[in-house]
Structure 1
Amino acid sequence: MGKGLGDKLVVAISSRALFDLRESHQVYESEGVEAYRQYQISREDEVLPPGDAFVLVKKLLGLNAAVERAQVEVILVSRNSADTGLRVFNSIQHHGLDISRAAFVGGRSPYPYLAAFGCHLFLSTHVEDVRSALDAGFAAATILSGGPRREAGGELRVAFDGDAVLFSDEAERVYQQGGLEAFQNRERESAREPLGGGPFKPFLSALNRVQQAFPQESCPIRTALVTARSAPAHERVIRTLREWDIRLDESLFLGGLDKAAFLEAFAADVFFDDQPGHCAKAMDVVATGHVPHGVTNEKVSG
C-alpha cells in the first residue's frame, strides 16, 4: 500500500473514463497532439460532462461521508500532460469530487504508477493500459460506453462475473477445450478444491473490508456474483468464497441465461466480465468493465 494512504480502498481512473472526452479525443485522433493541447487549453474553463464511470466514482467517494475515517481514495491517472490535464482537474472541482492526487504522464501508459499509489482497481478506456495493469497483477477493466447511468444516490452496487474475474480461468479452460459436460464433471470432482484467485479477488477483498466499516444491516455497499454457472458447478464457488472468508451479498447462478436482465434487477452500478459477448449485452443496462484476461481473451487477441 502506498505511504500515507493507510488501508483505504484505492481506485485509479483515467480522465476519459471519468469524463466525456469524446470531442477532444477526436481532435487528438484527427489533428495530433499539439492541436489537442491547444484545444484543451482554450477550453480549460469549460466543464467536462460526466463519463461512463462518473457515477461509480461519485458513489465510491460518497462512502467517506458516512464514516468517521475515510475508507476510499480515488486517484486520477491520465495520459494527458499537466497542461492538458488542467481542464480535467477544473472539472473535478466543479463537480465536487474529492480527488486530490493525480499522475499526468504525457502520452505514456500510467500503469507503472499503480503500485506506487497502492491501487486495488484501475479503470480506463485504453485497452492496452488495462492489459498492462492486469499483466502487472492489478484488477483492471476497460470501461465501455453504453446504456443509461444510475443515479448518484443510494447504495453502491457492484456485480462481478466469476471465472477469469473473481476466480482464475482454470475452469473456463476446461469448458473451452471439452465443452459443458467436461466442465461440469471437473467441477463436481473438484467441488472441495478451492479455485485459484482471479485478478479481481484483491479488489473484492478490499471492498469487503470497507463494507465491514458499516453495520451489516445498513451497509451502503452491495455486491453480487453474476455467473453463467449453475448446479452442479455452484458448490465449488461457494466453498471457494468461504475459504477466502469473503462475503458476497447476492449470488446468481444463471446456467447460461442472458445476464443483462438480472443486472438490471440487481440495479448494478458497474459489472465486470471477461467475455466480450456478455459485456456487449450488459453495457445496454449498466456501466460495464471488460476484463481482458484469461483464455477467452487470448483467442480474441490472438
Structure 2
Amino acid sequence: MSEQSPGKQKLSTIKLIVAISSRALFDLDDSHRVFEEEGEEAYSRYQIEHEDDPLAPGVAFPLARKLLALNTDPMSPQVEIALISRNSADTGLRVFNSIRHHGLDITRAAFTRGEAPYRYIQSFGAHLFLSANPGDVTNALEAGIAAATILPSAPGKGEHEQLRIAFDGDAVIFSDEAERVYAESGLDAFNLSEVEAKNQPLSGGPFKSFLSALHAIQNEYPANASPIRTALITARGAPAHERVIRTLRSWEIRIDEALFLGGMDKGTFLNSFGADIFFDDQRRHCESAADYVATGHVPYGVKNAM
C-alpha cells in the first residue's frame, strides 16, 4: 500500500473548506491603489519593499480566525482555509508573512499573477469562496461554488465566541424560483404561489452545500453547545414562511434562528444576532447590513439579472 502524504491525511478529516482572497483577508487598499494608479511593476516594487510590514486585517479576517478556531484537535481538524490571490508568488510573500504574523493556520495557497483563480477554488474542494473581486465571484458561482463579494463593511461586534453566520433565503440558500414569481407578478402572486406550493420543497441555491457543511460540524456537538450558530434572515413574511420551514425540514438541515421580516430592514436584526458575516443576493439589503456586520453580496438569481 502506498504511503499517503500528510496533506492527504489532513484533508480526509476536513468537513469545511473555505477559499479566501488576499484582499478579503487583509487590508490591501493602499497597495491596490498603487496597482490601479501606477501599474503592475510599481505594485511589485511596493509589495517587495514592504514585505516585512504586516498587513492589517481585512473584512473577512475575523471570520477566518473564528473558522480556524473550530480546529480544537490538531489531529482531526474540521476546517481548512486556502488563500487565493491574483498576486504572483513573489509579491504574495507579504501576504504569507502577514498570515504568519497574525498566527493564522493557513498553509495552502494559489497565486495566479492576475489570472482568474476560480479553477483552483474548485480543485481545493472549497465549499465557499470569498473575494473582493466581483468577476472572480461570478466565475466561482457559475462553476457551482458558493461565493460572495466581500463589501466594505463594519466589523461584527465580536461579542460571541461562537461563529455566527446569517443567510438570506431566496437565491442564496434556496434557488430563485420563488423570487422570480415576485419579480414578474408582485407580492400577492408570490404569496399565493408559495401557499399553493407549501408542501413542495424549494430547490437548493448556491449556498446550500456550504450550509450543509456547517450543519455537519454542528452535528458533532450537543445543540446547546455548538461553536456555530446560523440564522435565516429573510424579507419573507407569513404566509410565505411555511414553504421555507418545510424545505429545511426536508433537507434535514437545522437553522438555529429564523427571522421572517416581511420587508423590514435587515441591518439592525443582524446587529442583534451578532453575525460574523451575512450573505444576501440583493445589493440594497447588503448595503443596509454592511453598516453593522461583515457582508457578502451573492450575485446570483433574477434580481442580479435585471
TM-score, length basis structure 2: 0.95
Tell me if 1:136 matches 2:137. Answer: no
Distance 1:33 1:171 in 2: 45
The amino acid across from 2:214 in the alignment is L
What is the match of residue 118 of structure 1? 125
| C-alpha spacing 1:67/1:216, structure 2 compared with 1 (3 Å) | farther
| C-alpha spacing 1:162/1:212, structure 2 compared with 1 (3 Å) | same
Q: What per-residue deviation string (whole Å, max 9, x for no partner) do you get for residues 251-289 of structure 1?
A: 000100100111011000000000000000100000000
Does the Cα contact within 8 Å between 2:153 and 2:293 map onto a contact in 1? yes
Structure 1 residue 16: Cα displacement = 0.2
Query: 1:1-302 alignment to 2 at 5 Å?
Result: 4=9, 5-6=11-12, 7-65=14-72, 69-151=76-158, 154-299=161-306
Structure 1 residue 146: Cα displacement = 2.0
Distance 2:126 2:231 in 1: 22
Distance 1:118 1:152 in 2: 31
Does the Cα contact within 8 Å between 2:160 and 2:274 map onto a contact in 1? no
1:112 is paired with a residue whose SS is helix
Distance 2:157 2:262 in 1: 27
| Aligned-residue identity in percent | 63
The amino acid across from 2:186 in the alignment is G
Which blocks of at least 5 consecutive residues in structure 2 are unaligned? 1-6
Structure 1 residue 149: Cα displacement = 3.6
1:92 is paired with a residue whose SS is helix
Distance 1:39 1:212 in 2: 46
The amino acid across from 1:182 in the alignment is A
Does the Cα contact within 8 Å between 1:225 and 1:252 map onto a contact in 2? yes
TM-score, length basis structure 1: 0.96
Does the Cα contact within 8 Å between 2:24 and 2:58 map onto a contact in 1? yes
CA RMSD, aligned part only?
Answer: 1.3
Distance 1:294 1:48 in 2: 35
Distance 1:140 1:278 in 2: 17
1:82 is paired with a residue whose SS is coil
Does the Cα contact within 8 Å between 1:137 and 1:199 map onto a contact in 2? yes
Does the Cα contact within 8 Å between 1:58 and 1:152 map onto a contact in 2? no
Does the Cα contact within 8 Å between 1:55 and 1:150 map onto a contact in 2? no
Q: What per-residue deviation string (whole Å, max 9, x for no partner) do you get for residues 73-103 of structure 1?
A: 0000110000010000000000000000000
Distance 1:94 1:260 in 2: 33
Q: What per-residue deviation string (whole Å, max 9, x for no partner) do you get for residues 177-214 of structure 1?
A: 00000000000000000000000000000010011122
Structure 1 residue 114: Cα displacement = 1.4
The amino acid across from 1:9 in the alignment is L
Does the Cα contact within 8 Å between 1:52 and 1:149 map onto a contact in 2? no
The amino acid across from 1:248 in the alignment is I
Structure 1 residue 215: Cα displacement = 2.3
Structure 1 residue 151: Cα displacement = 3.0
Which blocks of at least 5 consecutive residues in structure 1 are unaligned? none
Does the Cα contact within 8 Å between 1:122 and 1:140 map onto a contact in 2? yes
Distance 2:107 2:264 in 1: 42
Structure 1 residue 153: Cα displacement = 5.9
Structure 1 residue 148: Cα displacement = 3.4
Structure 1 residue 220: Cα displacement = 1.1
Does the Cα contact within 8 Å between 1:241 and 1:247 map onto a contact in 2? yes
| C-alpha spacing 1:165/1:59, structure 2 compared with 1 (3 Å) | same
Distance 1:249 1:47 in 2: 37
The more displaced of 117-126 and 143-152 is 143-152
